[in-house]
Amino acid sequence: MTGGAGEVGMTGAAALQADYVIVGSGSAGSALAARLSEDGRHSVIVIEHGGTDAGPFIQMPAALSYPMNMSRYDWGFASQPEPGLNGRRLACPRGKVLGGSSSINGMVYVRGHARDFDHWAEMGAAGWNGAAVAPYFRRMEHWHDGGHGGDADWRGTDGPLHVTRGPRKNPLFHAFVEAGAQAGFGRTDDYNGQRQEGFGPMEMTVWQGRRWSAANAYLRPAMKRGNLRVVRGLARRVVMEGARATGVEIRRGGRIEVIGARAEVILAASSINSPKLLMQSGIGPGAQLAAHGIPVIADRPGVGGNLQDHLEVYVQQACTQPITLNRHWNLIGKGLAGAQWLFFKRGLGASNQFESAAFIRSRAGVDYPDIQMHFIPIAVRYDGKAPAEGEGFQIHVGPMRATSRGAVTLASADPEAAPEIRFNYMSTEQDVVDFRRAVRAAREVLAQPAFAPYRGKEIQPGAAVRSDAEVDAFVREHAESAYHPCGTCRMGRADDPGAVVDPETRVIGVEGLRVADSSIFPRIPNGNLNAPSIMVGEKAADMILGRAPLPPENAEPWIAPNWRESDREGV
């Protein structure tokens, strides 16, 4: 491979080559790049369209609402009008920056439940069950319990990804956990350990006051090696010679060039861009490709399908005491918090403010949690644009296993045109019923005695919203994406016509090409997607290098003994 370490500028050699060419420097791509280049035997090029992740908007945890709304850092995708959400188009932020979406996300760290990955294996992703992925979560973690307790037997303590807990100084964080227990849902000291179910502290990828993105954890240290380069450019398509991938066509500096891959091309470009790149390269639903004049190399009808996401709404309550973050939600307050963070990496700026959480079951007969709650001591939109007047707090709540499925499709044959994204949110009756239960569970928690010293009127949905039809209408008008798109290059058996990659992450029907990111998830896991996406990068790296998988960890996750009879603990 020509050249040395670091980031390649807009000019340079016309013909770059490496053993492995990775498209995307996000959660999975950064982990892949670090592991593939680790022993120095292989050269790696990472293609990233976005620029540097330096600067306070990305690195300050409390500023999380800014980068995902900045065109400098975000691809700017949006869904097509969603019939199940009153025709609204929902934003679909994806990171266009070093570190990808791990540099613009909410920094929430959730492995997912072991049963999620058991389900992957049942769907044909052999070797991806809960016991098989657990050692990869352990390998990637550097877990700090912060003196709050936790499940050390399940956690890793020497990986590159620092995982911490917020200080939970605000009494509302503790009221939330106590209220969950009062409602009968139980507690958990570590939802990333043996017991996910219950109310307890939330974890975040923040270290020493800074966002600990995949770029900070994996890519930046690896960029110091002589065998890894990051190339700034827009990936347009995979270059195929017959049925074999040999490189990636990119645009940089106004010039089209090809980066050659001696061994393999690996797409880690997101659940939106990875299927788009496959289709632009002739791999996908044959009729769709032919309609755009793209020659079909491998007719894989599953490419772009199986699109899933988490939806959530904010149940907001007024607060009767001046203890929320509202008093900091002004220019002076933000300036003081920003200055404290800038000089000391401490204070409000050093936390994403999601410091308590819950995972519960929606009804009897559900064996592990299917509703997630985030708690935050202010009533405000996730994008930071619309704070409620006065003091307030809110629960972000939504179902974790929606049955609706959507698709990413090509809008045109132009490789630089954005694809069309249709989630088909709320298109099944089960999803409507599950969301109704989620909203009512959040309201029930807020009505518990633990919140009595703080509880004012309900801001949203509001006292007038009570019946099933009223709750349904509220959800359709106010639900927002939790920004967890996945599933569009589904992993499965090689003989499954709907699968896109096999359990070794190899694209079925071609050679020298893999996909390793959230697009290969057969079904969306229970929680935020950064952690399982990094896990995919870790595990795929071992497969690519021909290493034996890490030995499985067969400790069983906690399942409520009475799950068949009740959604509550001991009821």
Give the span between the Cα atoms of 161 and 441, in whole angstroms: 33
Give the span between the Cα atoms of 111 and 136, in whole angstroms: 11
Position 334 scores a pLDDT of 72
Q: Is 21 domain-assigned?
A: yes
- The stretch 488-508 carries a mean pLDDT of 98
Q: Is 324 domain-assigned?
A: yes
pLDDT in tens, 355-374: 999 999 999 999 999 999 99
Give the span between the Cα atoms of 36 and 452, in whole angstroms: 54
* Count of structural domains, the chain: 2
Q: Give, in order, the Cα–Cα distances in Å from 265 to each of 35, 110, 239, 544, 546.
A: 15, 29, 9, 11, 16
pLDDT in tens, 283-314: 999 999 999 999 999 999 999 999 999 999 99
Q: Is 101 domain-assigned?
A: no
pLDDT in tens, 66-102: 898 899 999 999 999 999 999 999 999 999 999 999 9
Residue 44 amino acid letter: V
Pick the catalytic residue: 42, 310, 396, 484? 484
Give the span between the Cα atoms of 155 and 157, in whole angstroms: 7
Together in a domain, 360 and 440: yes
Give the span between the Cα atoms of 474 and 493, in whole angstroms: 40
Q: Is 404 domain-assigned?
A: no
Q: Which of 94, 511, 559 is nearest to 297 (CA)?
A: 511
Does residue 41 surpass a pLDDT of 60?
Answer: yes
Does residue 330 surpass a pLDDT of 70?
Answer: no
Together in a domain, 272 and 320: no
108 marked among binding-site residues: yes
* Banded pLDDT at 335 (limits 50, 70, 90): confident
Tokens of 95: 């990171």
* 461: preceding bond cis by omega (within 30 degrees): yes
* Banded pLDDT at 64 (limits 50, 70, 90): confident
Q: Is 116 domain-assigned?
A: no
97 marked among binding-site residues: yes
Position 348 scores a pLDDT of 80
Together in a domain, 367 and 281: no
Does residue 147 surpass a pLDDT of 90?
Answer: no
Adjacent-strand bridge partners of 308: 486
pLDDT in tens, 470-487: 999 999 999 999 999 999
Tokens of 428: 């099944």
Together in a domain, 344 and 435: yes
pLDDT in tens, 172-222: 999 999 999 999 999 999 999 999 999 999 999 999 999 999 999 999 999
Q: Give, in order, the Cα–Cα distances in Å from 164 to each of 207, 286, 458, 470.
A: 7, 46, 32, 39
Cβ-based neighbours of 352, under 8 Å, separated by 6 or more: 61, 62, 64, 106, 107, 108, 166, 204, 206
Number of Cβ atoms within 10 Å of the Cβ of 410: 23
Q: What global pTM score does this model have?
A: 0.95
Give the span between the Cα atoms of 288 and 279, in whole angstroms: 9
Does residue 382 surpass a pLDDT of 60?
Answer: no
484 is a catalytic site residue: yes
- The stretch 267-278 carries a mean pLDDT of 98
Position 413 scores a pLDDT of 96
What does the mean pLDDT of the chain come to?
93
Together in a domain, 381 and 468: yes
Position 458 scores a pLDDT of 96
Q: Is 508 domain-assigned?
A: yes
Residue that finishes a domain, picked among 439, 455, 478:
478
296 marked among binding-site residues: no
Residue 31 amino acid letter: A
pLDDT in tens, 239-258: 999 999 999 999 998 999 99
Together in a domain, 353 and 284: no
198 marked among binding-site residues: no
pLDDT in tens, 218-236: 999 999 999 999 999 999 9
Torsion of CA 55, 58, 63, 67, to 10 degrees: 110
Residue 80 amino acid letter: Q
Together in a domain, 230 and 276: yes
Together in a domain, 451 and 364: yes
Together in a domain, 464 and 440: yes
Q: Is 456 domain-assigned?
A: yes
Together in a domain, 292 and 441: no
Output the domain CATH number for residue 471: 3.30.410.40
Q: Is 26 domain-assigned?
A: yes
| Domain membership of residue 290 as a residue range | 17-53+214-302+486-544
373 marked among binding-site residues: no
* Banded pLDDT at 385 (limits 50, 70, 90): low
Give the span between the Cα atoms of 252 and 531, in whole angstroms: 31
Q: Which of 273, 246, 339 is nearest to 48 (CA)?
A: 273
- The stretch 420-443 carries a mean pLDDT of 98
Residues belonging to the chain: 571
Together in a domain, 430 and 507: no
Tell me which DSSP letter residue 60 carries. S
Output the domain CATH number for residue 527: 3.50.50.60
Q: Are 396 and 373 in contact (CB under 8 A)?
A: yes
Position 333 scores a pLDDT of 67
Together in a domain, 388 and 490: no
**% pLDDT > 90, the chain:** 86
